[in-house]
Each structure stands twice: as C-alpha cells, then as structure tokens.
Amino acid sequence: MAQPGRKDTQERMLENARRTVLASGEFRTASELAKFLQVDSHKLNHQLKVWKDCNEIFSIDGGTEGELFPKFAFDRNRDLHLSDAIPQILEIFGNKLSRLAIASWFIADSSYLDEQPPKDVLQADPDWAIDAARDEMEEVSHG
C-alpha cells in the first residue's frame, strides 16, 4: 500500500483542525450569535461587516452552515462590544496565519497560558492573551 503523500497529510491535518474548531461550539452564525448576545440580528450583521472590514473580528467557513464567528470574541459585560484583545491579536497574526489556524489557536490549550486556551483568558486577562499571541508568532517565525 502506498504511503500518503505530503499533500494528503496536510489535507487531513486541515480537515482535523476544521472538525475540531467546528465541534468546539465556539463558532456561530450571525443569527445564532444575535440570540446568544440577545441583540438585534440586523444590527449585529451590520456591525460584523464593519468589524470584519476593519480586521477587528474574523470568521471561518462553516461549510453548509455558512460564515461562522467566534462567540468568545464578545465582551458579554458590554452591549455589542468585542473583547479589546481580539483586534490586537488579529493584528499580531496579520496575514501569517489562516483564519482556521487562528481559530485553532484560540481554542487549543496553550503552554504559555498555563495550559488554558486563549479564548478562556480573554475576559479576565486580555494582556496575557495578547502576549500569548506574540509568543505564538515568535515560534512561527523561528520555525
């Protein structure tokens, strides 16, 4: 039996990452987010477009579900506001990571964050999450 090629391995890894991200329950459609945040869906749709255009939020392709946004990106203590750390983290990642890689980073445990996923420290310690993003990019740039 032939060994799978590098391309097959990469495709499997991407598909596994996609499945893990989608199974996390952390990414929702705009209408689901509106219900979760208890805000008007038209207002949220407009705001999501503005934020995406300004690179202040990201989305992933949910396949048949459509575009999915991270529910952890929102500061639930303030009406329809993003966590202050999200735009800063996206700026740190720039175009160096795919949206799926960014989504995976947010939900995976991080040794930099004492084995917590970055999404879990956004509210309590946004600066720590930002530092973790810088650390991640340092690792990426050093191979």
pLDDT tens-place string over residues 40-55: 999 999 999 999 999 9
Instruction: Kindly state the DSSP code that residue 82 receives in the 8-state scheme.
Output: E
Contact between 117 and 107 (Cβ < 8 Å): yes
Q: Where are the alpha helices (DSSP H) in the chain?
A: 6-23, 30-37, 41-53, 85-93, 99-107, 126-141
pLDDT score for 135:
96
Q: Is 80 exposed, middle or buried (0-12, 13-18, 19+ CB in 10 A)?
A: middle
Q: What is the pLDDT of residue 4?
A: 57
Predicted TM-score of the model (pTM): 0.88
Q: CB-based burial of residue 41 (10 Å sphere; 0-12 exposed, 13-18 middle, 19+ buried)?
A: middle
For residues 75 and 119, which has the higher predicted lDDT (pLDDT)? 119
Predicted local distance difference test score (pLDDT) of residue 60: 96
Q: What six digits make up the tokens of 72?
A: 């952890």
CA distance 20 to 107: 9
The DSSP output letter for 116 is B
**How many Cα atoms are found within 13 Å in the side-chain-facing hemisphere of 115?**
0
Q: In whole numbers, what is the pLDDT of the chain averaged over residues?
A: 91
Assigned token pair, 58: 């990201």
Contact 104, 92 (CB under 8 A): no
pLDDT at 11: 87
